[in-house]
Structure 1
Amino acid sequence: MAHRTGDRRPGARLRVRSQGLPARSAGGRAAPARHEPLPARSAGRRAVARRRGVGERPPPQLRAVALRALAHLRRAARSPRAADPGQASAPRARLRTCARPRAGGPDRGHAARRPRRPRVAGGPGASTGRGAGCGGGGLCDRPRRRALAARAGARRVPRAEDPVRAAGRVNVAVVGLGYWGTNLLRTFGALPAARVTGLCDLVPEHVGRSAEQHPGARGTTDYAELLGRADVDAVVLATPPSRHHAMALAALRAGKHVWVEKPLALSVTDGRELVEAARQAGRVLFVDETFLYDPLVREMKRIIDRGGLGEVCHLSFERLGMGRIKRDSNVWWNSAPHDLSILLYLVPRRVLRARLHEHCYLQPGIADMVVGDLELEGGVSAHIYLSWLHPEKTAKVTVIGRERMLSYEGRFEKRGITLFDYAIDRSMGNGDATAPVIPVSHFAARRLEVPAAAEPLALAAEHFVESVRSDTEPLTSGARSLRVVEVLEAAEHAATRGGRAS
């Protein structure tokens, strides 16, 4: 990150440029790395409802999608504490101090407001800014807005407009009381800083069952009625992916903080609209990428960042098992967000290319088995294997370094990390340079003991509540999680398809 922080050149964004596909409109975006701020969404773009992986597809493209940087993005100053859920949020006074411009300092341009400048138009059909039009391929007089990721963390809500600060506890409503919603209800009900005040589901029996376990919560089957209640500060959405965008957008426009399950949305356009709505409302938009709150994953990052593996070469992800087969989206959009969020957390580099092959064995047109390969900056590669049709459950991450390897198992009954030491003898000390095998002189495994802590979901819920109370950007904010959606969409554009549903 240090090599990007010093970059002061203005006007940057990343565009997904498909090889072999028709050129995108000017509103097209690219997939920057998770740690890079995002450009603002074009006002002229409209969100289009879609169901990922369902129905007919265009002819498969055999080429990869290249994610190429078109310019360098002027980064806004950000407190490093916002990225670590294990640390307490900085006091409000310190945040205000960081936001003040420092006279003559090297970061003065990041903290102080500058006169707005024109930005490059994307081409014919690009949306125009306030007070000026854009010519195709020329300069646009539209004012350049600050990066959404920076604004999501820096924007503050006046105390009079947010009752959470005065009450001290966050009133939470859980929407969607099925399998995962009941887990969220249990988790938020156990938090001292939160109080469950609302329950919502289309099935009255689900509402009644949950209301019996939480007598202080009022249940309803009317989502609009829930959003109009004054005793609801935050909405927790445990609904199918196809409903994330519409329901989260309605909640943000009603002035509610939002927790939404992964993925943030089923298109980059919808995701950007949610991020912009959260910025305008001054509310927290949180994406439940639960594995980033696992202390074992955070220990993996600590080892990698300290150089414990040497130079990282490759990461491998396997998320396999039987059951919970979805009808409204495929295995790529349901399972890959976990692995992509871990990848971009452990190795925060830009994704340059993505290749994806999908198999549809259970339902026509809906992939239930996927193999993907990603190429990242610096020669790092990643392999992702996902399946809803596998006899053993596993959620495994392997990181290969030049000096050591690290393996993580995320299934809760088998959670753990193992460090592998290895050495390869390249000296040819025996003088036989024609030997067909390079000997491995050392290989040993050691399971690492990490102090026990609360379950990752409880840590994620606690972090969400603290972000609402302190008005800070969470580790898995909508702006940060949008990078995951961009990689998901870019890879799907280059996907090929096989398999045949019976």
Structure 2
Amino acid sequence: MTDSLRIAVIGAGYWGPNLARNFRASPHWELAAICDLDLDRARRLAGQGHDVKVTDSIRDLLADDDLDAVAIATPAATHHDIAHAALAAGKHVLVEKPLADTGERGQSMVQAAAESSLVLMTDHTYCYTPAVLKMRELIHGGDLGEVLFIDSVRINLGLVQPDVDVFWDLAPHDLSIIDFILPGGLTPITVSAVGADPLNAGKACIGYLTLPLADGAIAHVHVNWLSPTKIRQMIVGGSRRTLVWDDLNPQQRLSVYDRGVDLGLQVLDGADRRSATVSYRLGDTWSPALPETEALGSMVAEFASAIRDKRSARTDGSAGLRVLGILEAASRSLAAGGGAMPLRVEREAMLAGGTARV
């Protein structure tokens, strides 16, 4: 374990045990401590017979000079203060999604990490699944051609959350995936959100996000707590091929369709797509082979690699900030009756925070 990085998990509630299990199993990490206000819960997570420190004091935890990093799995409203304290103590930071509870606080975290030359990584777990990694590879490799549209559906009969609406609860998964697979990340021109509250829960329980992209492309996200059927599906339509991801079909999570619409331009003065002949391309369908690996295992390995290679992580703080900016714009749009809202966080500012190297 001499070459392993030492990490502490802060928060032993819902997500903390998943992080602790993967850090403990990883050859890149030594799980050094569990920090939680509930010491009994922290002790249970630490387990018997393991040399894992248990504490309820973040200050005492961060005073350990041998600690390399912390993983924050606490409520979003606490992320900013804990991350700043950890960065000030010289620790690399992994943060459960969302990065923060506001874009302003998220931007502050990104800037602090850049100024300290430390890695700030957002735990966008889905981005490290074999299927999504393959999607990114195919899109970045040009197999799909120019991306024309993205349709994403995440619906199920789920728990109505007490503190957030359906957009903030479910959409971060889809937004983080789209941000990860698109070259340059997800930078919509505007954000429009339409929601419904048929239960009178005081918040949107059903929602639709519309995100116009550059060059006329568009992304659409549908989230729903009230569906009796569970669907997790994303379609990425390209000028050459179309990709379908069905997360609930383990036998065929990914399908690539060599089918689509071709516009053959007529030889006319001022010819454009409005004077085009439509033809349909009907080709083969194939499913790429995917390894069976746990996403969190790949994520914690990426965190270690980013620290050792002195580079930004694949899902760095700026990726978390882009998702956070879209969620905030969605909330403004929802309050305005579905109007198109610009992003408040400038793309250049997000990129500046993400390009700092350790």
Alpha-carbon RMSD = 2.7
1:281 to 116, 120, 124: 116
Distance 1:413 1:198, change over 3 A: farther
| Cα distance change of structure 1 residues 414 and 359 upon mapping to structure 2, 3 Å threshold | farther
Shift of 1:361: 4.6
Return the alpha-carbon distance in structure 1 between the equivalents of residues 237 and 62 of structure 2. 47
The DSSP-based 3-state class of the residue aligned with 2:313 is coil
Relative to structure 1, the CA distance from residue 213 to residue 333 in structure 2 (aligned partners, 3 Å threshold; closer, same or farther) is farther
For residues 6-53 of structure 1, the C-alpha deviation after alignment (integer angstroms, 9 at most, x for no partner) is: xxxxxxxxxxxxxxxxxxxxxxxxxxxxxxxxxxxxxxxxxxxxxxxx
Give the Cα–Cα distance (whole angstroms) in 2 for the partners of residues 426 and 353 of structure 1: 27
Matched with 2:3 is 168
| Greater Cα radius of gyration, structure 1 or 2 | 1
Change (3 A) 1:257 1:225: same
Offset at residue 289 of structure 1 (A): 0.9
Structure 1 unmatched runs, 5+: 1-163, 428-437
Change (3 A) 1:425 1:271: closer
Moved more, 439-448 or 364-373: 439-448
The match for 1:156 is: none
| Contact 2:157/2:230 (<8 A) preserved | yes
User: What is the aligned partner in structure 1 of residue 306 from structure 2?
Assistant: 467
Aligned to 1:394: 231
In the alignment, is the contact (CA less than 8 A) between 1:358 and 1:497 conserved in 2? no
Unaligned runs of 5+ in 2: 265-277, 338-358
- Partner amino acid, structure 2, of 1:282: S
Compare the two structures and name the one with the higher strand fraction.
2
Match of 2:331, SS state, is: helix
Which residue in the other structure is 2:242 paired with? 405
CA deviations on 1:37-84 (whole Å, 9 max, x unpaired) are xxxxxxxxxxxxxxxxxxxxxxxxxxxxxxxxxxxxxxxxxxxxxxxx
Aligned AA (1:416): R
Asked whether the 8 Å contact 1:176–1:237 carries over to 2, the reply is yes
Instruction: Say whether the 8 Å CA contact 1:357–1:497 is kept in structure 2.
Output: no
Q: Distance in 2 between matches of 1:406 and 1:344?
A: 16
**What is the aligned counterpart of 1:313 among 137, 142, 148?**
148
Distance 1:226 1:461 in 2: 20
Cα distance change, pair 227–444 in 1 and its aligned pair in 2 (3 A): same
Matched, 1:257 2:96: no
TM-score normalized with structure 1 length? 0.59
Instruction: Tell whether 2:311 aligns with 1:487.
Output: no
Corresponding residue of 2:254 = 417
Amino acid at match of 1:369: I
- Deviation digits for residues 94-114 of structure 1 (CA, Å, limit 9, x no counterpart): xxxxxxxxxxxxxxxxxxxxx
Q: What is the number of residues matched between the two proteins?
A: 322
* 2:187–2:322 CA contact under 8 A, matched in 1: no
Higher helix share: 2
Cα deviation 1:206-227 (Å, max 9, x = unaligned)? 1121122562111122233222
The 1:374/1:472 distance shift into structure 2, 3 A limit, reads same
Question: Is 1:355 matched with 2:192?
Answer: yes
Residue matched to 1:140: none
Distance change >3 Å, CA 369–CA 242, structure 1 → 2: farther
SS of alignment partner, residue 448 of structure 1: coil
Question: Is 1:446–2:322 an aligned residue pair?
Answer: no
Q: Which 4+ stretches in 1 moved above 4 angstroms?
A: 411-415, 423-427, 438-441
The percentage of counterpart residues that share the same residue type is: 34
- Counterparts of 2:199 and 2:16, CA distance in 1: 26
| Partners of 1:170 and 1:469 within 8 A in 2 | no
